[in-house]
Amino acid sequence: MRLTSTLGTLVIFAILSAASPPTVRGELVHYWSLDNTPNDVVGGIVGTLHGGTSFQSGAPAVPGGGQSAHFDGAAGTYINTHFEPALSESDQLTICLWARLPINASAGTDLLGFEQTGSSTLRIGVRMNDGLRIWAQLRDGNNDATIVESQAGFFDDQWHFIVLSRGNDSIKLYVDGGLADTQADATTAINMAGQMSILIGAEYHVDQQLISRNEFSGDIDEVMYFDEVLTADDVACMFGTPPASGQTDCDSNGQIDVFEVCDGVHTDCNDNGIPDSCELANNDCNANMVPDDCEPDQDDDGVIDDCDNCVDFRNPNQTDIDGDGFGDVCDNCPNIPNVDQADMNEDGVGDICPCPERGDMNDDGLVNAEDIQLFVARVLGS
């Protein structure tokens, strides 16, 4: 469902300082995956890069894989976009994002800023208040504001999951799956009925003749906007299993994948945020509804044991010249089909092999030291 009333300006800040599954969830209406695109991949809203903003991958690991947006903190560095939430004081919302907060982060910078010009604002950012803290603020048209803030300890060059929710007469801030702060909602004149501007990596402040200010230095990824209050269980679920980058509803059933995994509706054997049922194409050789990358592979050749024609010997190409189901590297008679692999005298050569082949372990027409080495290796199982 989409929100139908009007809201004020919402701002989320990172503040530097000393530190039964849910059954009803709102719709994910906006999602900036930040995988080499500033666009909203769910709501279809186009975004633009400004200043020293770029996309990057690699260490430190990006939540959900893919890329993240990097901001150099210089003036005019941000991602700019607009949308029309049509929110009011009675409406609910949840905003989630991942951020890598540098050890030397500056106080008074914003990770995210929403603003309805001349009305309400929402900000998430960093400020100095008895140390560096993660901080979020919602301010209405009467200039009434509610602020929630974390304790210190999140500025370590590592990724952290930050969530701001509004609803049920309270505003809550979560960090890394746990509740950091909750306050009664003091805003009463929220008005975001028209187009709302959003900056990722800065604060939007047009009414002060500024397009951006408080530019952030660091990395941001997986920005999500829900039209409902997510529960503590939902937040813990998303922190434990970040969504695969750009992937939210692989089976198109209207439910967020990671929530279905946490609720037990789907399994996720490799903990990548994608239900196993969506990863079976060309990845389930034994047709048991379990992705191959979660099945045993004793010889680590990329072919799971149930489908490997040589379980104990690495042979990624699975070559089987005689077609008897045993790979050449472990077949005791590779040129003649012998599905029983009978070897009465246990000399490593199948009984069906003709005498001229006995002793010629590598089938090169010679019996020499190389054959002895192969024979010993087979007897010892190495």
Q: Which pair of structure tokens corresponds to residue 48? A: 């633009």
Q: How many other C-beta atoms lie within 10 A of the C-beta of residue 316?
A: 11
CB 122 within 8 A of CB 8: yes
Look at residue 2 and tell me whether its pLDDT is greater than 70: no
Q: pLDDT category, 1, cuts 50, 70, 90?
A: very low
pLDDT at 179: 92
pLDDT at 241: 67
What is the chain's mean pLDDT, rounded? 77
Rounded average pLDDT over 7-27: 41
Q: pLDDT category, 66, cuts 50, 70, 90?
A: confident
Sorted by where each begins, the domain ranges of the chain are 9-230, 313-382
Q: What is the pLDDT of residues 86-131, one digit of tens each?
A: 555 557 888 899 998 888 777 778 888 877 655 566 676 655 455 6
**How do the residues of the chain divide into helix, strand and coil, expressed in percent and rounded to 5?**
10, 30, 60
Q: What is the pLDDT of residues 370-381, one digit of tens each?
A: 877 877 777 776
Q: Greater confidence, 260 or 208?
A: 260
Nearest to 47 by CA among 37, 38, 60: 38
DSSP characters for 320-368?
Answer: -TT-SSS-TTT-SSTTS--TT---TT-SSS-TTS-GGGTT-TT-SS--S
Q: Which of 107-111, 200-204, 297-301, 371-375 has the highest mean pLDDT?
A: 297-301
Assign a CATH topology to domain 9-230: Jelly Rolls (2.60.120)
CA distances from 260 to 33, 41, 227, 232, 263 (A): 20, 20, 18, 15, 5
Rounded average pLDDT over 214-219: 88
Q: Which residues contact 273 (CB under 8 A, 6 or more apart)?
A: 64, 241, 242, 243, 244, 247, 257, 258, 261
- Helices and strands (DSSP H and E) totals, the chain: 3, 20
Q: pLDDT category, 288, cuts 50, 70, 90?
A: very high
Cα–Cα dist 36/70, whole Å: 11
Q: pLDDT category, 11, cuts 50, 70, 90?
A: very low
Q: Is 154 left (phi over 0), alpha (psi -120 to 50) or beta?
A: alpha
CB 224 within 8 A of CB 242: no
pLDDT at 121: 67
Percentage of the residues of the chain whose pLDDT score is greater than 70: 74
Cα–Cα dist 225/96, whole Å: 7
Cα–Cα dist 363/332, whole Å: 11
